[in-house]
A and B are shown apart, each in its own frame.
Chain A
Amino acid sequence: MKAVCWMGKKKMEVQRVNDPKILNPRDCIVRITSTAICGSDLHLYDGYIPTMEKGDILGHEFMGEVVEIGPQVKKLKVGDRVVVPFTISCGGCFHCSRQQWSCCDNTNPNARLAEVLYGHSGAALYGYSHMMGGYAGGQAQYARVPFADVGPIKIESNIDDDKVLFLSDIFPTGFMAAENCNIEPGRSVVAVWGCGPVGQFAIRSAFLLGAAKVIAIDSVPERLRMAEEAGAYVLNDDDGDIQERLNLLTGGRGPDACIDGVGMEAHGSVYDSVKQKLKLENDHPYALRQAMRAVRTGGTLSVPGVYSGFIDKVPFGAAFGKGVTIRQGQTHTQRYLRPLLDLIENGKIDPSFVITHRVPLSKAPEAYETFCNKEDGCIKVVLDPNA
């Protein structure tokens, strides 16, 4: 089959590789019909995630048709149409039993690597470094899906791929980011840093959860425009002090909740760029710092943006001094599949709004570049594995 392989920093390659096989009794094989590039993949592309190896197959936002099942798969059948969540979870550990799917104990064969860096390992993810399990990803024609009865959600209707594909990651991620904000319907003001796909879904989810006002921050005009279309008040990061403008928009209180939907590659400070280049700091917490200072006293900071290592000059005193609640982590994707599919099927939201580019899988390397450089108005790329 064809698959997108990581070949080093800023180097992707479409290769012919073996088709995946069932390796464990609870696996299934999915023939992929749609797959996407995520902002998280850019952290790999830019070389910020440790324990990648040349030849690793990328991709964690995919859906398709079940073509083979392992002997212990009970619920899924060959022919079922499924969306696969990017978090690989066992369904039987302490965390899975509490719906903390991204904290699963039993899916990372390389937990030892993650323990060195993090003390303990969370769930494995598709196509996201050896430390996170080393599983081949879904920017390919087929994928092996472990714990087939635990993760994938079956799509019974003949709704388009485009509308349900993002259940795999960014819609649940944006939704969990908003849910973590403790929104009081009709009262809460939520500020969202980053108007990439995650930010876009966070904005829409905050409204779905009843936010009185959503303020979106970015510096890319078409992304701000897309946020505006959702009803957000937008601030261009290039137009002056964010804190001051947020205060003016909130009667001096500051937002009740701030979402860092940017993560470790935020632009903004030379200090961090230099340190990141010198490998003195792996992450770039510019948005996080702003959000920590801007959030109101007793407010909430919700962090869906990915951080992978160490960060400097975090104004923890600001968070402490204001009694801020911090909530973060990889998304507990499985928790949101059913409720969000219901929202989609009931016409409450159509996630396909975010797609700007459709590209054959064979053109994935170019698509990474376009997406990374935010050229050509690119916000979200969907790859066609059959082209």
Chain B
Amino acid sequence: MASRKGLAPSKIVVPGNKGVKISRAVTIRKPADALYAFWRDLENLSLVIKHPVTIRNLSDIESHWSVSAPPGDRRVEWDALIINDEKDKLIAWRSREDSEINNAGSVRFEPAPGGDATEVTVTLEYQPPGGKLGALLAKLSGEEAGQQVGDALRRLKALMEVGEIPTTDGQPVGEPQRKKNQ
């Protein structure tokens, strides 16, 4: 775990109300330490984020993110820095300055009433950049991004509670869907 001293300085990346802010929560029947440990190794998150994403740990507090974005399958990339880290409780991060998409986020792990589960709350903020891409990303409304985060949390829950993520991808289906899928 990063020592507090080793953390990157916290900084407001998404000023004022210019950005999109999303919060989502899920309750997972696992202790906070297991969930924290999973999340702290950021590369694990690519297992639960449905949208194709590559995450590479560069150091204990730095990671490189790459996602495909419209138009075409162009890639948007940025480096993220962990700016706050409380073992089994909280992880917060932000993108390095001058990233194509400025973004910041945090995840909190709190015991749920009853003592056998953990409430996981994620907050994400991002600032769509200017230009053509910005316009496109703005279209990807907060609601849609919120659903993506919601999906990821649900998938995280399934993976942690039962070891697999529910899917129907690849199951048999009749026409006309069959053609569409191929």
Residues of A at the B interface (CB closer than 8 Å) are 1, 3, 5, 7, 13, 15, 17-21, 23-26, 53-57, 72, 90-94, 97, 105-109, 111-112, 115, 124, 133-136, 140, 144, 146-147
Q: Given A55-B178, A94-B117, A112-B150, verify A146-B173 contact (CB < 8 Å).
A: no
Chain A residues whose CB sits within 8 angstroms of the CB of B29 once the complex forms: 92-94, 97
Distance in Å from the Cβ of A124 to the closest Cβ of chain B? 7
Contacts of B164 in A (CB 8 A): 24-26, 72
In the complex, which residue of chain A has the Cβ closest to the Cβ of B164? A24
What's the interface size class on B, roughly? 20 to 34
In the complex, residue of chain B having the shortest beta-carbon distance to the beta carbon of A20 = B172
Whether B163 and A17, one on each chain, are in contact in the complex, defined by CB atoms closer than 8 angstroms, is no
Q: Which residue of B lies closest to A15 (CB)?
A: B174
Rounded to whole angstroms, the CA-CA distance of A133 and B154 in the bound complex is: 14
B168 touches A55 (CB 8 A): no
Main secondary structure, interface of A, reads: loop
1/0 contact string of B163-177 vs chain A (CB within 8 Å): 111111111111111
* Cα distance A112–B148 in the bound complex, in angstroms: 10
Is there contact, CB below 8 Å, between B174 and A112?
A: no
**Interface class of chain B by DSSP:** loop
B164, B165, B174, B178 interface centre (most CB from chain A within 10 Å): B174
Interface string of B144-170 (1 = CB under 8 A from A): 000100110010011001111111111
Give Cα A239 to B104, complex, Å: 69
Closest Cβ of chain A to B165, distance in Å, is 8
Taken together as a complex, chains A and B put the C-alpha atoms of A108 and B166 apart, in Å, by 7
What's the Cα separation between A146 and B163 when bound, in Å? Answer: 12
Q: What is the distance, in angstroms, from B27's C-beta to the closest C-beta of chain A?
A: 8
Q: How far is the CA of A146 from the CA of B175 in the complex (A)?
A: 23
In whole angstroms, how far apart are the Cα atoms of A185 and B39 in the complex?
A: 54
In the assembly, what is the distance between CA of A21 and CA of B158, in Å?
A: 21
Asked if A111 and B154 make an inter-chain contact with CB atoms under 8 angstroms apart, the answer reads yes
Closest A residue to B177 by beta carbon equals A55
